[in-house]
Amino acid sequence: MTFLRVRTLLLLLGLGPGLAACAEDLGREWQTLDTQSSAIEFKAPGLETQNARFMRSYNERQSVLVENAMWIGPEARHPKAIVQYYRTSPGYYFPSRSDPQDLLKRYTALKDKEMSFGPLKAVVNGLGRIDYRAFGFDSVSCVVFFAIWGASAGAGDQRLVGYYCADPGEPLDQATIERVVKSVDVR
């Protein structure tokens, strides 16, 4: 993978510039994974036709393992889906739940979009409670989601955040949104 493609991938994931000075630096910090090696599982509609990228890094300073998964088509101006999974080292915890809407700011590909949001809702799957909000920009319907679990109620040692978008001009009805959010899992 060339440095430019790696840098673009990091910017789309919202990891920002400055993480790597060159491709060699990136190789020491981030490990590229295949689908089977990633902890992230996501079976949302249309992802099977997208290019998928999986990466893992351990941030020693913050004592957290991070996995990123991104699905993007060849002509998209933004990823169709991004899922980020975090697991802290023993003795460290994520302090509280967050509104998934507030977490969208981290995604560079969406930062300049004028978005409208639906109400905060929740579903339950094998991970536990997943909070989500439908949102949209331009002619794109999406859902952003967030889960925290592990150590105790309100705080946890694992969390998951991500979003999924339908194709431009295609609506996401409530049943599809719930199916998409329930389909995210961690192995």
CA neighbor of 5 nearest in space, from 23, 18, 17: 23
Domain with residue 121: its CATH number is 3.40.1000
pLDDT of residue 106: 82
What pTM did the predictor assign?
0.81
pLDDT averages per 10-residue partition of the chain, 187 residues: 40 44 51 90 90 88 87 79 92 81 84 91 94 94 93 77 92 95 95
Q: Which domain holds residue 40?
A: 3-186
pLDDT of residue 153: 54
pLDDT of residue 124: 96
pLDDT of residue 142: 95
pLDDT of residue 159: 92
pLDDT of residue 25: 47
Residue that the structure tokens 């991500």 belong to:
162
pLDDT of residue 107: 84
Please give the tally of structural domains in the chain: 1
Element spanning 162, H or E:
strand 158-165
pLDDT of residue 186: 95
CA neighbor of 86 nearest in space, from 60, 62, 65: 65
